[in-house]
Amino acid sequence: MGNPDPQKVDWASRDFAEVRPGIFGSTIHTPQLTATLYRYGAGSSWEEHQHPQDQVTTVLEGTVDFVVAGEPVRLTAGQTAALPGGVPHSATVPDDGPCVTINVLTSRPETPRA
């Protein structure tokens, strides 16, 4: 099995689509992960949801208020949240936004072994 060529991603030159009111995202995929750069407008939010994939979210600029399994978690620039798959979570950007995050979701075909 050969190694595929790595992708170089210049987020500034990519197209962004509005995925929720005031939230724009651009996504790349590899066979084992999905990465999305999100640009959140001030006061924008993502409703509570969950998915089977693990998620790692790093705030690049601004602040985002997560609610993870009912618990508030505020992240600011340079901070990361790691969420196991299946955990309900939501996100809201304060009214003094904006915020930029990069979210990475993994696929897990089987449970990791210790």
pLDDT tens digits along 91-114:
999 999 899 999 999 976 655 554
Ranges under pLDDT 70 in the chain: 1-4, 108-114
Question: How far separated are the first and last CA of the chain, in Å rounded?
Answer: 26
Contacts of 98 (CB under 8 A, 6+ apart): 39, 40, 41, 42, 61, 62
pTM: 0.87
Domains of the chain, earliest start first = 17-106 (2.60.120.10)
- Contact between residue 4 and residue 29 where contact means Cβ atoms under 8 Å apart: no
What pLDDT score was predicted for residue 6?
78
